[in-house]
């Protein structure tokens, strides 16, 4: 059956497509370091969607108004705790304010687990959460 499927280009396309779609969501459960990032995992309306995070960016000891630095849609994504976006925001602020300390912390509350904080350090020296 598999040999027959793989004997044509269309069959090979089907096999790769189905395999990728079956396995890609596993990445969320097995390998993704960011539990808030549910992209490509078909986790519509999951409990994680109810997560609320409060990202705080402090530049040289002064809290930053994220709304003045980034579009509100990005601030909203950061409010869902998505690490890649928060890391990119940190990198952006580090570039904009060179030689400054950009301390980032995220406080998240969950529906199904205890609140948790992430970060809390200078993202210009440690750029990943």
Q: Where on the chain is the footprint of another protein (CB under 8 A)?
A: 1, 3-5, 7-8, 10-11, 13-14, 17-18, 21-22, 25, 38-47, 49-50, 67-74, 76-77, 80, 82, 84-85, 88-89, 92, 111-112
Is the CB of residue 108 less than 8 Å from the CB of residue 115? yes
Please choose, from the candidates 30, 93, 87, 21, the residue with its C-alpha nearest in 3D space to the C-alpha of residue 63: 93
Least gap, CB of 78 to another protein (angstroms): 10
Cβ nearer to another protein, comparing 14 with 126: 14
Is the CB of residue 93 less than 8 Å from the CB of residue 64? yes
What is residue 104's DSSP assignment?
E
Cβ nearer to another protein, comparing 82 with 103: 82
Cβ nearer to another protein, comparing 68 with 125: 68
Return the bridge partners of 121, or none. 104
Least gap, CB of 97 to another protein (angstroms): 15
Cβ nearer to another protein, comparing 69 with 122: 69
Q: Is 51 exposed, middle or buried (0-12, 13-18, 19+ CB in 10 A)?
A: buried
């Amino acid at each position: 059956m598999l040999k027959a499927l793989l004997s044509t280009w269309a069959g090979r396309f089907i096999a790769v497509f189905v395999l990728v779609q079956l396995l890609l969501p596993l990445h969320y459960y097995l390998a993704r370091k960011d539990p808030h990032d549910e992209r490509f995992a078909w986790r519509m309306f999951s409990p994680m969607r109810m997560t609320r995070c409060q990202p705080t960016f402090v530049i040289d000891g002064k809290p930053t108004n994220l709304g003045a630095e980034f579009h509100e849609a990005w601030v909203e994504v950061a409010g869902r705790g998505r690490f890649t976006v928060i890391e990119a925001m940190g990198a952006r602020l580090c570039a904009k304010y060179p030689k400054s300390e950009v301390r980032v912390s995220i406080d998240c509350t969950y529906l199904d687990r205890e609140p948790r904080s992430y970060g809390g350090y200078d993202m210009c020296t440690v750029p990943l959460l």
